[in-house]
Amino acid sequence: MNFDIVKNRNKFFALSIILIAIGVAAMIFNGVQGKGIFNFDIEFTGGTAMDINMGKEVSNTDISKAITEVTGQSNPQVQQVLGTNEVMIKMQSVDSDTRTKLTDKLKETFGLTDESILSVQDISGSMSGEMQKTAAAAVAIACVAMLIYVSIRFKDFKMGCCSILALLHDICIMISFYAVFRIPVNNSFIAALLTVLGYSINATIVIFDRIRENKGMGRRMELKDMINLSLMQTMRRSLYTSLTTLFAIGAVYAFGVKSIREFALPMMVGIISGAYSSVLLASSLWYVMINRKKKAGAR
């Protein structure tokens, strides 16, 4: 395999910018529509949750319409439980009278019985504003710690900066994915985000380590060629590691329960994005920084 990654770096930069821009556009559009920039789960907002056995296949749209008629809420969350006729309904908190009216409406509309209503409960917003700030602080502290570690290990602050930029890219891609597809944001997303940060930096360090080794051998070649050589030498290892991890997480997503799938989905997105940023972005960013320094010195 012989592909000049550094030469085509602008194409990879542009692709990342486009994907992130799509996510930002989705946030703005949904915010203007009154849906919220993200589809926050009731773990963030609090609300009422209902677990109902419909007894047959029913359209989520029909269920949402019935809920809206009773509660006036325009965006209830209705999710089918995979492999069953059960649905999980999550909405903003409603009082006991409205809850009774909603139960009666669902029974009348879909021919349900008392036994069909498996559970109805109020759930408080466990992810309060303070908790969200704590999660953001955890991400910031992790990035700063990694920046210091990579800079000291390679004795190159620019490599540390490029590693962190690649991690921030992965975070932005995951956030964009959730904004575009309106996937519920909950505790699992925060845990997956921190996990991906630790996983993604590993492949970047391996590539930078190979660049340092090739540089130390005194090879007579241009910096761009040395970076491409290092990338080709570590490409198979990076792809195999990412693919095997992706297959394992994919199996968990396909056969796991709902709570596990909510953790596995952002992990899958993060693994793909992490492999992309480590191989195609991090070293190219370092090359750009080195070139700018040389040009500034020449001037």
Tell me what pLDDT residue 35 has.
76
| CATH 3.40.50.2300 applies to domain 47-123 | no
Is residue 146 predicted with pLDDT exceeding 60? yes
For the chain, which residues make up each domain, given as ranges?
Answer: 9-33+128-298, 47-123
Q: Is the dihedral of CA 62, 90, 68, 66 positive or negative?
A: positive
Domains 9-33+128-298 and 47-123 share a fold: no
Identify the CA nearest to 51 among candidates 96, 103, 14, 127: 103
Rounded to whole angstroms, the Cα distance separating 91 from 108 reads 20
Break the chain down into helix, strand, coil percent, rounded to 5.
70, 10, 20
Which residues are within 8 A (CB) of 138 and not within 5 positions of it... i.e. 6 or more apart?
Answer: 194
Is residue 79 predicted with pLDDT exceeding 70? yes
Highest mean pLDDT among 130-144, 170-184, 211-225: 170-184
Is residue 298 predicted with pLDDT exceeding 60? no
Tell me what pLDDT residue 129 has.
66
Sheet holding 86-91, edge to edge: 77-80, 86-91, 47-53, 117-123
Tokens 């677990």 -> residue = 51
Q: What is the pLDDT of residues 117-135, one digit of tens each?
A: 888 887 776 655 666 787 7
Identify the CA nearest to 191 among candidates 264, 278, 124, 245: 264
In this prediction, residues 173-196 reach a mean pLDDT of: 85
Tell me what pLDDT residue 200 has.
86
Q: Is the dihedral of CA 195, 25, 67, 254 positive or negative?
A: negative
| CATH 3.30.70.2740 applies to domain 9-33+128-298 | no
